């Protein structure tokens, strides 16, 4: 999900990709209130998930933001290895 988030932030919100690393705080990555607004709309348009701006802004790092989005889209729940059950 991190790569997809980074792509949305760079293509839709116009942020430079250099500072957008998993361990960066949102502020350090350049994710301001306008970028959060654009991200919220992009998530709804492209992934069909609604996450309000306050919730997105509360993420302490870019990785935490990616985890939140993955959780909401169901990506985090997808098994990484095939189930044998």
Q: At what angle do helices 33-42 and 2-11 cross, to 10 degrees?
A: 110
Radius of gyration over every alpha carbon of the chain, rounded to an integer in angstroms = 13
Q: Residue 75: pLDDT band by 50, 70, 90 thresholds?
A: confident
Count CB-CB contacts under 10 A for residue 6. Answer: 18
H-state helical runs in the chain? 2-11, 26-29, 33-42, 53-57, 62-73
Q: Do residues 60 and 54 make contact, with C-beta atoms less than 8 angstroms apart?
A: no
Q: Residue 76: pLDDT band by 50, 70, 90 thresholds?
A: low
- Here the tokens at position 63 are 């990785």
Calculate mean pLDDT across residues 45-67.
95
């Amino acid at each position: 999900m991190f790569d997809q988030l980074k792509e949305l932030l760079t293509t839709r919100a116009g942020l430079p990709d250099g500072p957008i690393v998993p361990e960066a705080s949102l502020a350090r990555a350049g994710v301001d209130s306008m970028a959060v607004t654009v991200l919220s709309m992009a998530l709804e348009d492209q992934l069909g998930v609604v996450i309000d701006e306050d919730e997105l802004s509360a993420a302490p790092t870019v990785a935490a933001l990616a985890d939140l989005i993955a959780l909401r889209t169901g990506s985090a729940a997808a098994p990484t290895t095939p189930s044998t059950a």
